[in-house]
Structure 1
Amino acid sequence: MMSASRSRPLIASLFRFLCRPLGTLLVAGVAALVAVGCAGTPSAVPVASASAAGPPEWVISTPASDARNEYFVASATDPVGDVAAAEAVAINNLIEQIVRFIGVTVTTETSAEARATLDEFEATVTQTVRQEGAARVSGFRVQDRFVDQRGSSVTTYLLVAYDRQALMAEKARIEALFRERQEAVARPEREARLAEQAGDPFTAIARYVEAAAAASRSDIDNADIRFDNNMNAARAVVNRLQLERLNDNLTTVIGEPFAESFLVRVTDGGRPVAGVALLAGYRELMPNGRVGVRTARVTTGADGIARFAHPVPTIVGTENLTVSLDTGGLLQPLDGVSRAQRPAVDALREALVGRRVTFRYEVISTARTIPTGVVILDTDTVGNPTTTSVTGPALVSALSQAGFAVSTLAFDPARLSGAPDRDLLDEWRALFGARVERVIFGVVGIDQFDESDGVIVRVSGTVQAVDLHSGRVLHSISTFQRSRSASAGTAINAAFRSLGARMGEEFALQLR
């Protein structure tokens, strides 16, 4: 209910704004007040004044409710005989009674819309009482007034009848408005606390975020505090979550699956949490030959453990698998918060991102142990061999760094130009068959040379790896590389070197 201390300042302020001075209505000790008519044709209600017969019965005892109406009696005294002032306070007291009957309480959580609705209702009641013939509130009418003059003071009494059906409809309307805005924040707060108690941290986080988002849009008096409280509560739940590796340092051979799954357990304050969505991220060779990141979704079971079966790896070497919380659109409701509230959102996002673990694993390639020879021809713009071979040594360096048993064949690269692959393989078997099992060979050359703005060089070509004994092509690369420099020699060498390094990295990933 609304207390007198809360209602009087509100109504007094509203009254000062709405009501105009009535002037002195007492003439020879009798007030000539104009009454309010009921809805329909206005009819004046005579104002009774003190007489030897005494006040009306309704002044002494408020009439009991009847089949149709609820009755309200209010009064107020002004010590200096100001009827207008006495009536103003009486109206305030009348409104307090009606608001108590309605049963709403204005608090710091009451929205501005709900407060405005209540203020409008109070103002309309005030105008109905004050203005002759007004029918501003459905079912509300002033039945009688009584002015009691005693010495220098005056007391005004008001008797109001309020149609019960109309009053209950107004009560329901105002109560609904009071609940609506409060519930927008309070409901998800309750649901969040219940989810925490039930051991469902993700639902709790989502509901705290929903409550914070509602508070950020709300005009309740303590909206900022409610926003901060809910954001802090969400972050506290996140910080309790722990992701724990149950195995690590798994090993497999390229092209073969791991013998076991990667295992991660999610706990909330030490208790396993079921149904937590996680994202597993790892590197993989894409169809275009480049390395990219793949993600897969996995969910914890009843034991709080998620089991990720890594796809057959396509990259050789030491790699990482990162498992993190799958937050999806969890923070999307907070997209529209104010600049002042952004740090709280960022802090929650960082807390969520921080819930992750990283596995290390090793993918071994037997290709590393297979002796491999390299011979590559570099050509100039007209197809002649360059004076220095750059692509081949760069490719050998890249493969060596990847752990391959690789060397440059003692073979004239110029002979690659125009010679059939079959003849080359036959000769290499005879010359190097006892030392190498695979050969990487090809021709690359300058296909663009531009000196209009410095020196820009593009080199391109095709290089392939073959099994020396069967002649089977294991992998082939056709690509290009640009380089720019102030001098032609530097640009050309840089282009060939970069091309060789890139090819070496790709062969290291692709060869089995």
Structure 2
Amino acid sequence: MIEKTNHQKTIYVFLLSIVTMFLVLACGTGPGGRDVPEWVVQRPAPDADSYYFVGSGVADIQPEAEDIASRALIGEIVRFIGVEISSETTATARSSLDSYEAELEEQVRQKGQAVVSGFTIADSYVVQKDDEVIVYLLGKYDRGRLESEQQRFQDIFQMKQDAVDVPAARGERLFEQGRFGQALPFLFEAAAAAQVSSIENAEIKFDRSTSIARQIIESLAIEPQVLQVQVDLNTQLPEPIGIRVYATRQGTRFPVSDLPFQVTYRELRNQRMVVRTARLLSDEDGFVYFDLPPTNYSGKQEIVFRLDLYSAIEPLREGGDRYMSRVDALEEAASSVSVSIPLISVSGARSRSTVVLAADIDQTGAVIDGQSTAQGILAELTSAEFSLVEYAMPVDRLAGMSNSELLALMRSENENKPEQAIERVI
């Protein structure tokens, strides 16, 4: 029993020695016998004039420990400011914070050089312990200066939240007011910002904005103001071609302004058919009017009015596969809002008797048997609703004739007295 008691006393004394040794080490002295500063153990509370920050670093050599301590000190300041960098942070905010941190680091390294206004390294403490070096740094920051920086960065980083919330709120407000055409650009802007943002509930905000946009698009209907247009070749239409755009909401039908439309039509350029486009907005009464240029070829075509949201929807694809199905649904809904109006361009030649001479020739220019060229021309003229009268004449009789000579010959042999002859190759 006595041995057990002595053993317990021995253990107690040994443990007491360990605690005592630890306390001595923790409260030991640094180089030159300096006592451990109080700020190393407990960071100073802010006073009326300044805030205080402490950073520490441990490494094999002092310069490396100082670098670690510097980064820790700067991290404490940034945490106080209350901003966080992520991969989606705006370039402006990231650049501003990077620049600020670089200036703080320069200030720490130069110890006293006024790089960041109001900030200084007030003290440092180094402990050599076994094979390691521990460096402590005390930073002192003027209260007014630091609070100004804090407000500046919060304003900059608030832009990330505002980039989503501000256009979303405005778009939803316009939607509730029934101003659909004006609401769409804000809804798309909010969705584009949300899909690349790190803000809380970013995907939910994307879904909300795109859902309202799709609801608007699917409510749209187009009424053409004419069912078909007929115009003489190379003649300006007396009035523009028009459509009217409506939306239906809760059983009420109303015109929609400020919607972008693309109009497509065709014209002949250098003997080739090309597609032309024009971009127009619906007016306050929902009308979209298009002044068609004079057509330069006879025949039929379609004048197509199509809701043009490509430039607004395409940026939403930058969010990747995660959002793709929702973007595809938007695009499909937009592409269905279109209407085609038939246009017939009538040649004045149909009311004038015209001589057309056609013959097939070989590579040397010699006339060959066959009527494939003539039959092709006849088919085109028939489809254009010309009335045709065919004449068969020996080619050798016609070869070398000018248009005027050909016209004179046909007038002498035709009671209908043709008015013109067209260029031909013999």
Is the structural similarity TM-score above 0.5? yes
* SS of the residue 1:282 aligns to: strand
* Residues in 2 aligned to 1:47 and 1:284: alpha-carbon distance in whole angstroms: 83
Q: How does 1:187-198 map to 2 (within 5 A)?
A: 187-198=166-177
**What is the TM-score of this pair, normalised by structure 1?**
0.54
Q: Are 1:206 and 2:206 matched, yes or no?
A: no
Q: Which runs of 5+ in 2 are unaligned?
A: 1-15, 53-78, 102-123, 128-133
Q: Which runs of 5+ in 1 are unaligned?
A: 1-22, 49-62, 72-98, 121-127, 140-162, 445-512
Q: State the Cα distance separating 1:304 from its structure 2 match.
A: 2.2
Q: Are 1:182 and 2:165 matched, yes or no?
A: no
Paired residue for 1:246? 225
**Which residue, out of 402, 421, 444, partners 2:384?**
402
Q: How does 1:60-459 map to 2 (within 5 A)?
A: 67-68=48-49, 134-139=136-141, 164-165=143-144, 168-169=147-148, 171-172=150-151, 175-176=154-155, 179-220=158-199, 222-269=201-248, 270-286=253-269, 288-327=270-309, 329-334=311-316, 336-434=318-416, 436-440=418-422, 442-444=424-426
Distance 1:174 1:276, change over 3 A: closer
* Residues in 1 aligned to 2:223 and 2:233: alpha-carbon distance in whole angstroms: 27
Q: State the Cα distance separating 1:311 from its structure 2 match.
A: 2.7
Q: State the Cα distance separating 1:43 from its structure 2 match.
A: 5.2
Asked if the contact 1:369–1:405 (Cα under 8 Å) also holds between the matched residues in 2, the reply is no
Asked if the contact 1:138–1:166 (Cα under 8 Å) also holds between the matched residues in 2, the reply is no
More strand per residue: 1 or 2?
1
* SS of the residue 2:393 aligns to: coil
* Residues in 2 aligned to 1:327 and 1:283: alpha-carbon distance in whole angstroms: 22
* Residues in 2 aligned to 1:261 and 1:333: alpha-carbon distance in whole angstroms: 33
* Letter of the structure 2 residue corresponding to residue 274 of structure 1: S
Distance 1:415 1:208, change over 3 A: same
Paired residue for 1:447? none
* Residues in 1 aligned to 2:391 and 2:266: alpha-carbon distance in whole angstroms: 33
More helix per residue: 1 or 2?
2
Asked if the contact 1:188–1:208 (Cα under 8 Å) also holds between the matched residues in 2, the reply is yes
* Paired-residue identity, %: 27
Distance 1:394 1:380, change over 3 A: same
**Which residue, out of 37, 40, 64, partners 1:44?**
37
* Residues in 2 aligned to 1:46 and 1:443: alpha-carbon distance in whole angstroms: 104
* Residues in 2 aligned to 1:350 and 1:381: alpha-carbon distance in whole angstroms: 52
- How many residue pairs get aligned? The number is 344
Superposed CA RMSD: 4.7
* Residues in 1 aligned to 2:241 and 2:307: alpha-carbon distance in whole angstroms: 16
Q: Which consecutive segments of 4 or more residues in structure 1 shift more than 6 A?
A: 102-106, 110-114
* Residues in 2 aligned to 1:243 and 1:304: alpha-carbon distance in whole angstroms: 9
Asked if the contact 2:355–2:407 (Cα under 8 Å) also holds between the matched residues in 1, the reply is no
* Residues in 1 aligned to 2:305 and 2:271: alpha-carbon distance in whole angstroms: 25
* Letter of the structure 1 residue corresponding to residue 371 of structure 2: S
